[in-house]
Structure 1
Amino acid sequence: MVPESNPARRRCSRVESTESARRPSPSAHANRLHRRGSTAFGAVIATAATVAMLASAPLAASAVTGGASTATATRTVPAESRADTGSGVVLRVAPTVTTSIAPDAPVALEIEVENATAKPIPAGTLQLLRSASIDDTAELDAWLAQAPGPDTSATDAVAAEATAIDGVEVAEVVSSMIAPGAVEVVSIALPPSAVDDIDESPVLGFGAELHVDGTLVASATDVFASTTAPTTGPTAISVAVPVTVPASATGLLGADDLAAWTSPSGLLTRQLDAVEGHPVAIGIDPRIIASIRTLGTSAPSTASAWLERLAALPNEIFPLAYADADVAAQAQLRLPALLTPTSFSDELDPADFAGVADADAAEEEAGAGAPDGTDPSATPVPTEPPTGEVPTTEELLAWTYTRTDIGWPADDTIAAGDLAYLATAGLTSSILAPGNVAPGEQWANAASSVDGSTAVVADARITAPLRAASEALSDTEWRAAAGQLGAELALLDGSGDRPIALLATLDRSAGAQSARVAATLEALAANPRVAPASLADAIGAPPVARELVDEPEDRQRIDNVGRIIRTDANLTAFATVLDDPRVLTGPTRRDALALLDVEWIDDRPAWDAAVGEWLVAQRRTLDSVSIIPSSPINVVSSETGVPTTILNALPYPVTVVVNVTPSNGRLVVEDQVTVTVDPESRSTETVPVAAGIGNGEVTLTVSLSSPEGVPVGSPVSIPVNVQADWEGLGAAILGALVVVFFGVGIWRNIRRHRKRRAEAAATDAADETDVPDATDASDATDASDPTTDEPGDDRRDG
């Protein structure tokens, strides 16, 4: 069978408009833009060449078997437009106009030869072969398995021999030299007799071989339904289609991108064009809705109209994870809950929402959301949330989804226990790729019981060709893939006793080839063996027990996802330094979800680069509030302060708590200090400290924390020399000097008084020696000195 999923071809077919240049690899983006132009141009050239070949005589070949007539045409496609499909020579066989074959009429086929090597393919021969009768899926698989595809490691077109096809040769034509990057188309018309042996088979197989100088260079086999095959009862088939934008590292889409993507030829417009009118279930990235709504009245008119058009669709619509984030990786990390956006307040301008409420209410009442005449109640969601003020996160994400319990992980990424985790998170029905379950009964219901949980499994036989057709780069490639889809359905018997409800899914990148998607859905709907069904029908059918194939994601990818989530958690904690943490946590969470977009899985180098750049940017944010290191400090007093300078490089004011911790007891920190630092500035604050016991060296560890106690930045160590005893010694010396000063003064006073008393005593003694009559002298003394006249003096009385 055609491989269900080819990452290289998906990347080749991924078409992006100029506004999607967000990935880190400019050269990869340039290649995608070039592919877009070259693919469209190549398709036009192919169509013109086919018409010309059918209308003209054979140009460069002659049939050697069965009387077939041939025509060839060559178109050149730039090498870079197909370089990532892998090196090698690719052959394709398909009917010239239709996707089925009428065995009772001439069979018009074309062989497309694509030279994806770096060297020219010399002239050779092309052989056309047919299969034997193909009556069941085993024979179909055996025919397709003969040519599994080109050797993707070959650089020389004739270096390796391809697989020979076991079939009946019906024509041989000459092929011309094919330049590198060129595609040659050879048309061959076979008479009805060429398929006489298998004209009753429900499926006809055709193959091609390219021989150069006797070496088989490439081979291919394809299958197509016969128009004469009997039609059994139709089988219910539902289809899930993603509506997404190219992966980027930005969690909100800008106005310029939205204007380009919703323009008449834009990516999002083409995706709605592809699904409109088809009963398919749409899985939409909520980021698209929120991005348009956050712009309010300043949103591009085309974006608002696109949102109205989405609301008017009668299809089932369910949400993917925001930014189509990888839910399997989150499940394998066993996060407490799946990540969701936390805020859009940093992007909302109140001026963009003035008067929105009244206009939306009037529009909703008038049923303006149903331009196609459908019931207005089916489209109740206006383009803006119903509020005249800045909308809340819930209002920006609100939508009237058909159901919100569906999870759609990337293909083949679910491991044991993941489905139970997703069910606990509210995603009770997961869409699984067929490779995530063991092969079982063919054509079994999509509804399944897997690993103890509920899931719907896409059918491998339908999904593989459906995806190949939706991603085809040329008309021949599309008809070959659509032909295989028809062949698979031709072998599907839906007339049994048990009704069958199958599911098919498109790849995330299918929207790039919207014209192919629309054509493929039309071909599926036109098949009489198909009864279109809703996703609810597939989920509600009786479940089938299936065995999970454990497919955990790459360990390195899971480690990187873990780094993203831990960094987001660190930013959330750090944001508590802000008055409104949402201005920081909102964009951080949205960008983290964008980096988890499942489409990054197919572009690992670009994803690794984007994750690295984001982690570096978040590290800078975490380091934007810090302490500026200080020079050593001398402390010579019992109480002092430690000056601390805080830098705030954020565009918002921050509030932090300064904590100082001494290495020993020589210093004692008295209290914390809370500081508010203006945006993009620095502030110096003093933290009070007191001297403890003793002198010596002390190391102060200064750190910051948010008011919530979350550590901020890295601690800084400041060396301190403590000599606080000099203050006591100085006081002692001063006290001693005071004591000495006053002591000397007192001693001098005492000495002076003693001297006076001694002098007075000496004078008195001299006077007593010089007087002859003691009584007269005494009387004279008493008469002249009244102080000697004291009461009770016996001498005076006698």
Structure 2
Amino acid sequence: MFDAWRTRARAVLAAGLRRAAAASTAIALGGAALVGASAATAAPAATAPGAPAAPPASGALGPAAGQLFDEPVEGELAVAVVLEGGGVVEPGDDVLGTIVIANGTDDETAAGTVSLTVGDAPLAGRDALDAWYLGGTGAHEVLRMSAPALLPGESRELPFSVPASALPFEADAPFGARGAAVSWRANGAPPATGRASLVWSAPASGALDLSVVVPITAPIDDPALLPLSRLAELTAPEGGLTRLLDAVDGRGVTLAIDPRLLVSIRALGTAAPASSVAWLERLESLDNPSFALEFADASLVLQAQAGLDAPLEPAEFRFVTDAQEFDEAGTAQPEPDDAAPTGTGPNGDDPAASDPATADPATADPTTGEPTGPGDDGDDPADDAPSREELLAVDASRADLVWPSPGIVGDADLERIAEWRPGAAVLLAGEQVRSATAPSGGAGQSCAPQQRIGGAAVLITDPALDRALADAATAVGSLGADDALGRAAALAAATASTAQSGCALIATLPRIPLDDPERLAAVLELVDGLGPVDLAPLPAAADPASLPSAALVPAENELDRAERFAELVELESQGLELTGLYANPEGADDELRVRLLVLASASWIDLDDAPRQWRAAADRYADFAVGARTAIRVVSGSEIQLIGQQTALPVFIHNDSDRRVSVVVRARPTTGHLDIPEAVTVVVEPNSNVRAQLPAEAIANGLTTVIVTLTTPDGTALPAAAQLSVNINAQLEIVLLAIIGGAVLVLLAVGTVRMIRRRERARGRARLRAEMAESSAPDEDAAAPAGSEPAGAEPGEPERDPAPASDPTPASGTTHDPRTD
């Protein structure tokens, strides 16, 4: 994503190589063509001219070979030289570097030789430096070594060392850049050559004030504020923002600070990671000169070209602050870093559940992600939130600078910027300025970085230094970094060698976050270490009337992007009508504006494949702003049966968006069969259905059509009306109740009859057993004496019936059929 500057640099270098090829029959591949390298092979023994050299170590680079040169080496031999440390050599130091050879032919090369030459005199000025890279002569051989045979498509790295005594100038030679060239001879063909430059860093007095602008910006792949997890990552000890401050701390570079980054930390309140709060405190404590960018580095040029009457400004940040707690002063009290959630990742965590800045506009707890409301004591957690001004505050040393998008500024845009930011100096890319003080009066500049265009004061950057520093700060691989550093050092040295005392130049770094801020640290250290070069603040804005006049070079107007952005501004207005759908409408309003400003960021221009990426981001914004308008709908199904007079009409609502919404459901019957007097508010989760129950009263039986409409809680209609077919049976309920009651009575009667019959059968069986027992017992009553008591009976106790016999079999010769009872 962040390789656009590398791509731009490679295009420039390729053009230089083509010019070199036109000047000689061989391809002159300078060290600048390198964009990466694998680990170097074992260093062969380097020798002075005429001395025998040991054979180099063997080993093919394999897949890395395709990354060594800017363009594929096809049908030819190619060689490049890269000097370590950017080619800056102190008196008495040896020259270290690496020679890379590549066989782009279809045939194996024989073993050959490589030689390195260095110029004895400084290259006075940029013209001389350019001439050297285009085939200049006058160098002395300082190294010759053997080169191995190469298979087709193979390449090798040959590290070398040249002792200081072999250099063609004395230790007290003057400061300056000197040419270095490498030549590879093999197969008897014309030699392949490559060029670089060596900077002899002898003591010298300062003659060049170089102002370097380093952007401190937030990534634009987060559409609003940076989430908690991203901040914790970026401000960790090895995070990108931490290493960026390491690179600029103690250097006299000017910081261009994006307020969005600061708001992202402050708006989290007590939930802000401790590392982020410490990073913010460190930024504010730096002594570097600084100025504030527009919020999200929003391009004023884009807004002017889109026809806006005034630049967009952020409102509040309630979509984050409403869910946070703040100390009494309204500032953040950080949570420990180990308590901060890690956000989304391979474990599948939902970023909206862990990051307050990416949660739904509904308030959410920063740790659990659960929606929250006022505190237990009834106080709103956001009552102590910092004001808008406190959140946006940038403790900058200058407030009179505007830095528009490079390369697209027109005269009308400059006039509009002067109207919007009166009295501010405009920092313009030098490639867009035609200055009378520049060489040949063309695009670029000399040592007059502040000029007048129209009625505005402009600070003009040096395009060559812009490209050189950007190449060095975004280089890939150790060889690519050394090569880019060498070009930047040679350019600065050549410029300083001819600059008059007090000459000032301005250079800017890419506006997108750097992949490796340590590259920037190396660039600043190298440039700051050059004797005649002093890192200095940007020049103070002067009265435009006292400045020399300049003109803008016609720029490509981004009409397509401007027209689309104008459409997005209109979509924001439409989206504001829909924010009532969300639990925090005010926060949703604020988030719409913040996301729109991120889309206006000047950083988009520096991205690789910028048009496609910006269009995709614009489409996502359109869906975020107004997508819910068509994503929420009534689900129409089969005919609905309503039974009874007092009932409820079921209506299913589908939410196809990824945000939770609240909608008001209303129903209007087209006939008098049904009365639905009340609306119902329902909450619909993302990508789900919910059933709304609307109280209804049946007036008459029959079929009717019910028109269902949806609105936001604040009354904005949604285009989701639907017609439902309803069959009403108002009296069917009474009939059914009567049927059910009759059935219950019948069941009770049948049950009662069955119970009576069961009891009668039980009594009949009891009588039968008694008769059977009586018929089978011996006639003991006749044999007993008169007046005697039965055995076991107490005197005066009534006579008991004898217990029935265990075997009720009748006496012999008699039968009894119970069925006759």
- Report TM bin, short chain: 0.5 to 0.7
Q: For residue 630 of structure 2, what is the aligned residue in structure 1?
A: 623
SS at match of 1:430: strand
- 1:400 paired with 2:395, answer yes
Q: For residue 528 of structure 2, what is the aligned residue in structure 1?
A: 525
The residue identity in structure 2 corresponding to 1:568 is: E
Please say if residues 575 and 626 of structure 2, whose CA atoms lie closer than 8 Å, have aligned partners that are also in contact.
Answer: no
Instruction: Describe how 1:389-538 pairs up with structure 2 within 5 A.
Output: 389-426=384-421, 428-438=424-434, 440=436, 441=438, 442-450=445-453, 452-472=455-475, 473-474=477-478, 476-495=482-501, 499-509=502-512, 511-537=514-540
Cα displacement string for residues 306-363 of structure 1 (whole angstroms, at most 9, x for unaligned residues)? 11111111222322233334443333213233334334322236553255659979xx
* Structure 2 CA distance for aligned equivalents of residues 111 and 118 of structure 1: 22
Deviation of the 1:220 alpha carbon: 3.6
Instruction: Describe how 1:62-211 pairs up with structure 2 within 5 A.
Output: 65=49, 79=63, 83=67, 86-88=70-72, 92-96=80-84, 99-100=87-88, 108=95, 110-113=97-100, 125-130=113-118, 134-146=123-135, 168=139, 170=141, 172-176=144-148, 177=150, 183-188=157-162, 192=166, 194=168, 202-210=176-184
Change (3 A) 1:493 1:649: closer
Please say if residues 268 and 332 of structure 2, whose CA atoms lie closer than 8 Å, have aligned partners that are also in contact.
Answer: no
* Structure 2 CA distance for aligned equivalents of residues 119 and 592 of structure 1: 54
Deviation of the 1:702 alpha carbon: 8.4
Which of 582, 589, 594 aligns to 1:590? It is 594
SS at match of 1:338: coil
Deviation of the 1:425 alpha carbon: 3.0
Deviation of the 1:141 alpha carbon: 2.1
Deviation of the 1:610 alpha carbon: 4.4
* Structure 2 CA distance for aligned equivalents of residues 99 and 172 of structure 1: 19
* Structure 2 CA distance for aligned equivalents of residues 352 and 168 of structure 1: 68
Please say if residues 461 and 508 of structure 2, whose CA atoms lie closer than 8 Å, have aligned partners that are also in contact.
Answer: yes
Change (3 A) 1:109 1:573: same
Deviation of the 1:435 alpha carbon: 1.6
Change (3 A) 1:277 1:169: closer
Deviation of the 1:271 alpha carbon: 0.2
Deviation of the 1:458 alpha carbon: 0.9
Please say if residues 326 and 332 of structure 2, whose CA atoms lie closer than 8 Å, have aligned partners that are also in contact.
Answer: no
Cα displacement string for residues 537-557 of structure 1 (whole angstroms, at most 9, x for unaligned residues)? 377896342221232355554
Change (3 A) 1:137 1:512: same
Which of 552, 568, 572 aligns to 1:568? It is 572
Residues matched between the structures, number: 614
Please say if residues 68 and 190 of structure 1, whose CA atoms lie closer than 8 Å, have aligned partners that are also in contact.
Answer: no
Q: For residue 7 of structure 1, what is the aligned residue in structure 2?
A: 7
Change (3 A) 1:8 1:75: farther
TM-score normalised by the chain length of structure 1 = 0.63
* Structure 1 CA distance for aligned equivalents of residues 93 and 68 of structure 2: 37
Q: For residue 322 of structure 1, what is the aligned residue in structure 2?
A: 295
The residue identity in structure 2 corresponding to 1:143 is: W
TM-score normalised by the chain length of structure 2 = 0.61
Change (3 A) 1:683 1:314: same
Change (3 A) 1:593 1:173: farther
Deviation of the 1:287 alpha carbon: 2.4
Please say if residues 274 and 515 of structure 1, whose CA atoms lie closer than 8 Å, have aligned partners that are also in contact.
Answer: yes
Please say if residues 325 and 596 of structure 1, whose CA atoms lie closer than 8 Å, have aligned partners that are also in contact.
Answer: yes
Deviation of the 1:262 alpha carbon: 1.4
Change (3 A) 1:200 1:646: closer
Change (3 A) 1:352 1:718: closer
Greater CA drift, 401-410 or 286-295: 401-410
Cα displacement string for residues 248-288 of structure 1 (whole angstroms, at most 9, x for unaligned residues)? 14322222222222121111110000000112111122222
* Structure 1 CA distance for aligned equivalents of residues 101 and 603 of structure 2: 27
Structure 1 unaligned blocks of 5 or more? 12-38, 147-164, 362-385, 634-641, 688-698, 721-798
Change (3 A) 1:557 1:83: farther
* Structure 1 CA distance for aligned equivalents of residues 504 and 265 of structure 2: 36
Please say if residues 224 and 486 of structure 1, whose CA atoms lie closer than 8 Å, have aligned partners that are also in contact.
Answer: no
Change (3 A) 1:439 1:118: farther
The residue identity in structure 2 corresponding to 1:546 is: A
Q: Judging by fraction of residues, say which structure has more helix.
A: 1
The residue identity in structure 2 corresponding to 1:347 is: V
The residue identity in structure 1 corresponding to 2:240 is: L
The residue identity in structure 1 corresponding to 2:469 is: L
Deviation of the 1:575 alpha carbon: 2.1
Which of 544, 547, 567 aligns to 1:543? It is 547
SS at match of 1:504: strand
Change (3 A) 1:191 1:396: same
Structure 2 unaligned blocks of 5 or more? 12-34, 335-380, 439-444, 641-648, 697-704, 727-821
Greater CA drift, 466-475 or 554-563: 554-563
SS at match of 1:547: strand
* Structure 1 CA distance for aligned equivalents of residues 723 and 100 of structure 2: 71
Deviation of the 1:78 alpha carbon: 8.2
* Structure 2 CA distance for aligned equivalents of residues 418 and 121 of structure 1: 58
The residue identity in structure 1 corresponding to 2:250 is: G
Please say if residues 282 and 318 of structure 1, whose CA atoms lie closer than 8 Å, have aligned partners that are also in contact.
Answer: yes
Change (3 A) 1:96 1:704: closer
* Structure 2 CA distance for aligned equivalents of residues 514 and 407 of structure 1: 24
SS at match of 2:447: coil
Greater CA drift, 116-125 or 451-460: 116-125
Cα displacement string for residues 493-521 of structure 1 (whole angstroms, at most 9, x for unaligned residues)? 233xxx44321212235743322322322
Q: For residue 256 of structure 2, what is the aligned residue in structure 1?
A: 283
Deviation of the 1:305 alpha carbon: 1.1
Please say if residues 86 and 486 of structure 2, whose CA atoms lie closer than 8 Å, have aligned partners that are also in contact.
Answer: no
Please say if residues 622 and 713 of structure 1, whose CA atoms lie closer than 8 Å, have aligned partners that are also in contact.
Answer: yes
* Structure 2 CA distance for aligned equivalents of residues 224 and 709 of structure 1: 72
Change (3 A) 1:620 1:240: same
- 1:57 paired with 2:45, answer yes
The residue identity in structure 1 corresponding to 2:255 is: I
The residue identity in structure 2 corresponding to 1:222 is: A
Deviation of the 1:302 alpha carbon: 1.3
Q: For residue 217 of structure 2, what is the aligned residue in structure 1?
A: 244
SS at match of 1:337: coil
Deviation of the 1:487 alpha carbon: 2.4
Please say if residues 705 and 711 of structure 1, whose CA atoms lie closer than 8 Å, have aligned partners that are also in contact.
Answer: yes
* Structure 1 CA distance for aligned equivalents of residues 72 and 5 of structure 2: 18
